[in-house]
Structure 1
Amino acid sequence: MMTTDRTTVTAVLGSLADAWDRGDADAYGAHFTDDATYVTFVGTRYSGREDIAGSHGVLFEKFLKGTKLAHEVLDVRFLGADVAIVSTCGDTYKGARPGKLAKVQTYTLVRDDERWLVAAFHNTQRKPLLERISFAFAPETKPKQ
């Protein structure tokens, strides 16, 4: 894929973060397909743009009020011209941006009329201590990269 495709796809994540930082649930939800799936790090599953935007409207007023969204892109893979898988590390924060981002995330984006939208999102909280224990007892399970 062309560099511009990678740039365009990763710009969607930047725009998501901007909407999050403003606490704008409608703008955040607008980045998702009508039938998107969204899995939070606690395991809650939302279905569809409306559900994602609606739930985030409440979250931005309560638990996530005043938070910002940080992310670092780990990998972008294209599964054809209209599907991209983006792996990131990310986290929410208030104040200073954290040095280590505690969550691992996977975005599946699809191109719809020249616009990239998120069709699926999955967020997992990292457990570094459990990883170290696992790798100590079964070193062959440690990722190669």
Structure 2
Amino acid sequence: MHTHASTTAAGTETDTVAIRALLRSSAEAWGRGDGAGYGAHFTEDATDVTFVGTVYRGATEIGSAHQALFDSFLKDTKLVVDIVDLRFPAPGTAIAVTRGEVHKAARRPRRLGKLATYTLVRTAGGDWAIAAVQKTKHRPLMEAFSFRAQPKTRPQAQEVPGRP
């Protein structure tokens, strides 16, 4: 997992390491097909907006829904998650923008065509957990068309999530 993190007074290097470990652990649970283990990375009132637009609420529902997916459509898949931006807008709160992909191949996919924005919170026990995630497919052709048709829509950031 690659990280480009901006660490502020609200987030320490320890927090960055812990969040990287949390997202890596959630991807490992995915790879094992462990719905309960995947759901355990979320808060009890978390929101997961999936790639297809389904909204799951709470760690238990997220875990059980993913177990059903792991037992069918997502059987034997792996999840790649690379953090492209991590910031700490307030103490105990982090926002991570990631690029990722779900795949069945033995090797990591070359193109990471999905983006996800994670809102993470520090729990009462001091650990980090996922409070919300929103997943989106990157559509480079539509994006290029938009930028060409209306150049002012191009983001000003040097590194834009989802683009090399």
Give SS of 2:29's match: helix
Q: Which runs of 5+ in 1 are unaligned?
A: none
Deviation per residue, 1:1-39 (Å, 9 max, x gap): 221111111111000011001001111000000010000
Give SS of 2:51's match: coil
Pairing of 1:57-136 with structure 2 (within 5 A): 57-95=67-105, 96-112=107-123, 113-136=125-148
Distance in 1, Cα, partners of 2:54 & 2:32: 23
Letter in 2 for 1:86: A
Give SS of 2:20's match: helix
Distance in 2, Cα, partners of 1:80 & 1:128: 32
TM-score by length of 2: 0.86
Distance in 1, Cα, partners of 2:114 & 2:85: 15
How far apart are residue 43 of structure 1 and its match? 0.5
Deviation per residue, 1:92-124 (Å, 9 max, x gap): 001122111111100001101111010000000
Identity of aligned residues (%): 47
Distance in 2, Cα, partners of 1:65 & 1:19: 13
The structure with more helix, counted as a fraction of residues? 1
Distance in 1, Cα, partners of 2:121 & 2:12: 16
The structure with more strand, counted as a fraction of residues? 1
Runs of 4+ in 1 over 4 A off after TM superposition: none
TM-score by length of 1: 0.97
Length, aligned pairs only? 145
RMSD of equivalent CA atoms: 0.8
